[in-house]
Amino acid sequence: MRVCYLIQTHRDADQIARLVRVLGAASPESLVVVAHDDTGCALSAGNLPCAAERHLLAVRGPLRRGYLSMLAPYLQAVAWLREQRLDYDWLVYLSGQDYPTLALARSEAALAATQFDGFLRFWPALGADGPWRRRRQARNRYFFQYYEATSWPAALLRLARAANGIQSLVHVHLVYGPRVGVRAWRTPFTPELACYIGWQWTTLRRHCAELVVDRVERDAQLVAYYERTICPDESLVQTILVNAGGLRLANDNLRYSDNLDSRDGRPRILGVADFARLTSGAFHFARKFDPASDARILDLLDAHLADTPGNLRSS
């Protein structure tokens, strides 16, 4: 079995290099692909020492949070892997601010033994389940069609946003914007294609990842609709896979992040105080880490992984 670690990056070349080095050293038979947007920082193949096979894939930037461009590197990389005929069984989708919290020997052994086809978080957009505290959030994101409002005066945007709570035909969104949405009178969602949402970062068997790309390539109408939603990277993959039928999907993406008090979708930066939870064995990876805020946590994780029974580096 071979795992492909796909790392989507845009900043901090040193942190990217550290993650690539850790993955390659712990899993020398793996494939490491870095899909990099160089509008944030320059990156070259020489910056990425790795014991495993590794590739640097340039993606068109800038990537914009809340837009479909956030998922474009994933779709581009899966298509590129197929074009290059690079062999892999599982695709682990990471950000440049992820880090392993479980020895790769153990996480890869778990993937080799599982009956599941994919690990991802998902829940129905119109259901009561899910971690979002605001029930209207899913409706506002995926049942409106949004248009750029950068030319609107700030005072007018604030006034229009104040009307969000008293009517349901127009919605002003300022977190990833500014954008103004109009309630969609027709959506692509049907009983056969229910809208699902979840987290962007996934672990999928190769056929699941390619199924997503195939659907995107042949269903221009679905893609065009999602292009005018908020955070399509947190719905498009889930909607395609959960409705595909015949797939065994675990509702767990094997990651830890803390978004509890986030108001802009950014998870809390993790530090030494989180070490015990991160290394409990419940997660394969965690995010996000920032050495400028807490570099010691990464050193502690390195030591923990090196001393873990079953790790490739300690066997």
Per-residue pLDDT of the chain (315 residues; tens, 9 = 90+): 999 999 999 999 999 999 999 999 999 999 999 999 998 899 998 888 888 899 999 998 889 999 999 999 999 999 999 999 999 999 999 999 999 999 999 999 999 999 999 999 999 998 767 776 666 889 999 999 999 999 999 999 988 999 998 888 999 999 998 999 999 999 999 999 999 999 999 999 999 999 999 999 999 999 999 999 999 999 999 999 999 999 999 999 999 999 776 566 689 999 999 999 999 999 999 999 999 999 999 999 999 998 765 544 333
Report which DSSP code applies to 40. T
Backbone angles phi, psi at 52, to 5 degrees: -95, 170
Burial 49-83 (b: 16+ CB within 10 A, else e): ebbbebbbbebeeebeebbbbbbbbbbbbbbebee
Give the gyration radius of the chain's Cα atoms: 20
Structure token digits, residue 111: 């993937």
Q: Which residue from 176, 306, 309 is spatially nearest to 230, judged by alpha carbons?
A: 176
Give the pLDDT score at 261: 65
Give the pLDDT score at 133: 61
Q: Which helix or strand (DSSP H or E) is residue 33 part of?
A: strand 31-36
Backbone angles phi, psi at 201, to 5 degrees: -85, 125
Report how far residue 311's alpha carbon sits from residue 53's, in angstroms, rounded to the nearest whole number. Answer: 19
Give the pLDDT score at 27: 96
CB atoms within 10 A of CB 118: 25
Backbone angles phi, psi at 39, to 5 degrees: -70, -20
Q: Which helix or strand (DSSP H or E) is residue 146 part of?
A: strand 144-148
CB atoms within 10 A of CB 128: 7
Q: Write down the pTM of the prediction.
A: 0.93
Reported residue count of the chain is: 315
Report how far residue 32's alpha carbon sits from residue 55's, in angstroms, rounded to the nearest whole number. Answer: 6
Q: Are 67 and 176 in contact (CB under 8 A)?
A: yes
Give the pLDDT score at 214: 98
Amino acid at 73: P
